[in-house]
Structure 1
């Protein structure tokens, strides 16, 4: 049987979320043939080994190491049989027939190298789904000035698409719900396995565009992403993010670009601390204070 979409879900200690995610996929996905592949990154909690007792149709791959997001998806891709692969975070809930919507768009638009949908929180409020610029001096300056450039060019469609029709994106698309043809993914060699976590999808999309494909957000596809914007900042995640940022810049840009980017980000931290102290936003001030202490340590 021909499989249209291989849905790859990476798990690390999120067993209950994986069950919820799979249930939503099975409930809402119509009009296509699909398979679900779960790759476990050697979770300390071994509940994942019970997965096939509940969902015997799911392909479960037990990785012997916690290899990170990119490698785990590459492992899932090795057993995937679909025409397209759909990277889906374990902390997502599919609503409506969103996977089919993305599949249909990819089939009908041969110039599309990859696409994603709109992400929203549990209350169906807009969540960050993409960025308008790839990591660069332009994106750093835009962020320093509270995304004023993005707002002037793109209006409200800065990181969530409020339009009804798909829009072309030259920035990053969230790896929480990313669809790409298996053929192209294989041609690119999958994710660069030097990235443990973060920036791996940024690097992938950079290479997709180097192949002269375009990337899109399809707003009719809407998926809940449970990762909260108010989630506490952990220094280990900041470390992972920075290490991946450094790898991305040294691979795709320049060392000088990295130094300038770091300097602008430090200015951003100081600016945010000053502004939020001035207007009495204690929670946001404390949020940026974590970045300040982390940056000084680095």
Structure 2
């Protein structure tokens, strides 16, 4: 098998020499042919190329640009594969054999590319070598062929792109409308996908890339070409790759399922599906779904996922309780009613399924500074663009998710580099608000994971049924509906009662008494205490809490609740009388009620009061609620107190 390596040159002879010498050193003889297309160099490149015996060379009389030059090289190539390679690259040990192994690992792989130290679209890795010698040592240990390190991609970068000839035969040459260069590799990648092939980034293969050799000396020219070709690409494809191919690694990292577990993932606003494709590389058994309003972008994502081109704010045609994860990366701020969308998608999540969200923070210091200076600057992307219709702070995000009944909400934040004046501005803001707000001024974007907890939904529905029975006056049926409540904790039940029901106090009492009747004594007082907190004058609550406390041996605390009640009806008084019948003071007063001249009873009463004069109030309370001869007894007690004071 032979690979045709096509290299374009335009000056930069030193780069070209290093590149070709590295190919000769680190590529097996007989497995490749070298083709150089020179775009009218004037720095000695042409003369050097004429001295080389192992290179096919095309000498252009003018600079025809990258796409046209590559096409010239492809036309004269004879290899089974074509490798487009920048001349500012240094290849390394095992580079081409590794790439070929990946390219021919499956019939549907159309093209592959390596990782490097400097390139766009997530192809650069962290390196710390300081010389070419150290670089080659690094690459020698790095370049170990490993299918686990192959990652599906939407596009490959043209600095090093290995393509099967059958793919080129099927889709044709590079599109020369992108002359002099930029976006031709994006265009080629999407054409490969459109033809039914896949792209692989080989993260088991590293080469060195100086980067920017072609345009590095003229930044303005580069920016102008980039802008013009970006417009051409969008006109051709209907979307911009810089926006529609993002891989949201910070969102993907929130997925916490085992990598060998089948998962169903839906991304709302999936664009071309870069994030979904990365998930598929990491989770081999993932089932991918997407919603994308841009039909052109959705057609690309449809190559590897089940994608619908529809409006996310309308009813979604997916099964209920189906998805393990639903992703909304920079989507909610574009919706007119994100609050309703968060409620709607909840129905399509499995129990304990999760939403993974990224959303810009309108409290970021850069936006606040613009606003207080009278500006509201829109950008094409980032924190604020013209397509945003809703704006969120951390509190508003939390409110939206809690109202939609998500739980276990976890927040992370991305930040951007700050200058000294930024730090000073943030400190000024914290002085105006609070030190705890500093993190919110620093947060550029919030990254959020929240869980659908169906336990709360089931509990809410059950409580609503119970309330409905009470509304119809059927207490017995309401009590029957309490069956099965043991699966929920008292905290969950109380929280849901307070959050969702109108007859809060009545239902809290109903559950408490039912639990008491079943001997669940630890599951009684929390409900009654919450009911008392909600309405301290409810006679049923007071009766129940006093009765329960007394039954549990807490008669002293029960009597405290009696004293707290402002309105004491006859049932409450009768309960109080029943409790006091076991009191020594009550029994002494009973004796005196029957025999006012019982001196022994009088002396015992005096002795009790002398030992604890605080019992005078209790004594008067017992007389007030337990005896008819109130005046006589109260006069008697006052006399005892007077004698004690003397």
Report the TM-score, using the length of structure 1 for normalisation.
0.70
Matched, 1:201 2:188: no
Asked if the contact 1:113/1:184 (under 8 Å) is kept, the reply is: yes
CA distance in 2, matches of 1:200, 1:212: 19
CA distance in 2, matches of 1:201, 1:15: 24
State the partner residue of 1:62.
59
- Alpha-carbon spacing, 1:264–1:57, altered in 2? closer, same or farther (3 Å): same
State the partner residue of 2:121.
130
Q: Which residue, out of 213, 227, 243, partners 2:228?
A: 243
State the partner residue of 1:30.
28
Asked if the contact 1:119/1:129 (under 8 Å) is kept, the reply is: no
State the partner residue of 1:183.
166
CA deviation map 1:227-283 (0-9, x unaligned)? 279x6871110001011100000000169x99xxx95149789xx999556259xxx
Compute the displacement of 1:99 (Å).
1.2
Compute the displacement of 1:30 (Å).
2.1
CA distance in 2, matches of 1:50, 1:44: 11
CA distance in 2, matches of 1:30, 1:129: 29
Asked if the contact 2:102/2:200 (under 8 Å) is kept, the reply is: no
Asked if the contact 2:8/2:70 (under 8 Å) is kept, the reply is: yes
CA deviation map 1:39-93 (0-9, x unaligned)? 001123343233131x211111112221111110000001100000011110000
Structure 2 residues not aligned, in runs of 5+:
124-146, 244-377, 386-414, 425-646
- Alpha-carbon spacing, 1:86–1:279, altered in 2? closer, same or farther (3 Å): farther
- Alpha-carbon spacing, 1:27–1:89, altered in 2? closer, same or farther (3 Å): same
State the partner residue of 2:95.
98
Compute the displacement of 1:187 (Å).
2.3
Matches within 5 A, 1:214-233: 214-227=198-211
- Alpha-carbon spacing, 1:116–1:209, altered in 2? closer, same or farther (3 Å): same
State the partner residue of 1:107.
104
Of 193-202 and 246-255, deviating more is: 246-255
CA deviation map 1:7-34 (0-9, x unaligned)? 0110011222111101000100127611
CA deviation map 1:207-243 (0-9, x unaligned)? 10001111111122211001279x6871110001011
State the partner residue of 1:212.
196
CA distance in 2, matches of 1:84, 1:274: 43
Compute the displacement of 1:176 (Å).
0.6
- Alpha-carbon spacing, 1:42–1:169, altered in 2? closer, same or farther (3 Å): same
Asked if the contact 1:31/1:100 (under 8 Å) is kept, the reply is: no
CA distance in 2, matches of 1:51, 1:84: 23
State the partner residue of 1:45.
43
Compute the displacement of 1:188 (Å).
1.6
Asked if the contact 2:99/2:162 (under 8 Å) is kept, the reply is: yes
- Alpha-carbon spacing, 1:264–1:211, altered in 2? closer, same or farther (3 Å): same
CA distance in 2, matches of 1:131, 1:273: 18
